[in-house]
Chains A and B, each alone.
Chain A
Amino acid sequence: EPEVTQTPSHQVTQMGQEVILRCVPISNHLYFYWYRQILGQKVEFLVSFYNNEISEKSEIFDDQFSVERPDGSNFTLKIRSTKLEDSAMYFCASSESEGSNQPQHFGDGTRLSIL
């Protein structure tokens, strides 16, 4: 069964450094998402991406965050200058069509630890 893959599984970074989280969505999916989950809390939406542009973003997704689809298979999340509170699990998801019609399928996440 096709799945969303994320790398790395764990990223440790010094505060203030840039970090790039990588995702390979399911190949025939057109909508891509990033969510985060702070330890012990619920999953929170960050951003959705379709047709090479952001379609929606949350208030968490400030100017320090950016997303990119650099080629036909990868989807990345960049945090420009990390803060301690960015420590969380970051999940990539994809869906075949828009979110109110098709389920989003998630990867196993990248655990980001900011020191």
Chain B
Amino acid sequence: GESVGLHLPTLSVQEGDNSIINCAYSNSASDYFIWYKQESGKGPQFIIDIRSNMDKRQGQRVTVLLNKTVKHLSLQIAATQPGDSAVYFCAENRRGGGNKLTFGTGTQLKVEL
């Protein structure tokens, strides 16, 4: 069925290294994508979004890349810090999908000192 999914359930990186979190989606009608960070006991926190008419967008220490050909997006975190430790979700909204966000299963990012 249609889905938004993540490749890796857990990613461990050393402090200061760059992190790359991946997400695959299956519906070619998906046209808006959001990355959320969820810390323990908190709600999803907006990080960055990208529309399907773009292939790259940069924020503060974060970059999202979108490859529509293979239906894949990634979140790159530069100089990963201990405070980046959390679960990261990609979510998508699709044309004709109303306002519903469909979330992926999440990747746990662990930053090792």
Among B31, B49, B100, the one with the most A-chain Cβ atoms within 10 Å of its Cβ is: B100
Residues on B with beta carbons closer than 8 Å to the beta carbon of A103 = 34, 46, 49
Q: A99-B93, A100-B31 are in contact. Are A33 and B46 (CB under 8 A)?
A: no
Residues on A with beta carbons closer than 8 Å to the beta carbon of B31 = 100
By a beta-carbon cutoff of 8 Å, the part of chain B in contact with chain A is 31-32, 34, 36, 41-46, 49, 89, 91, 93-95, 97-106
Which chain A residue lies CB-closest to B47?
A: A103
| Residues B42 and A100 in contact, CB atoms below 8 Å apart | no
| Residues B44 and A48 in contact, CB atoms below 8 Å apart | no
Whole-angstrom distance between the alpha carbons of A105 and B34 in the complex?
A: 11
A sample of 29 cross-chain residue pairs with beta-carbon separation below 8 angstroms, ordered by A number, consists of A4-B43, A6-B43, A42-B103, A43-B44, A43-B91, A43-B103, A45-B102, A48-B98, A48-B99, A55-B98, A56-B100, A58-B100, A91-B44, A95-B99, A99-B32, A99-B93, A99-B100, A100-B32, A100-B93, A100-B94, A100-B95, A100-B99, A103-B46, A104-B46, A104-B101, A106-B44, A106-B45, A106-B46, A108-B43
Residues on B with beta carbons closer than 8 Å to the beta carbon of A98 = 99
Shortest B26–chain A CB gap in Å is 15
Shortest A110–chain B CB gap in Å is 10
Residues on A with beta carbons closer than 8 Å to the beta carbon of B91 = 43
| Residues A107 and B43 in contact, CB atoms below 8 Å apart | yes
Shortest A93–chain B CB gap in Å is 8
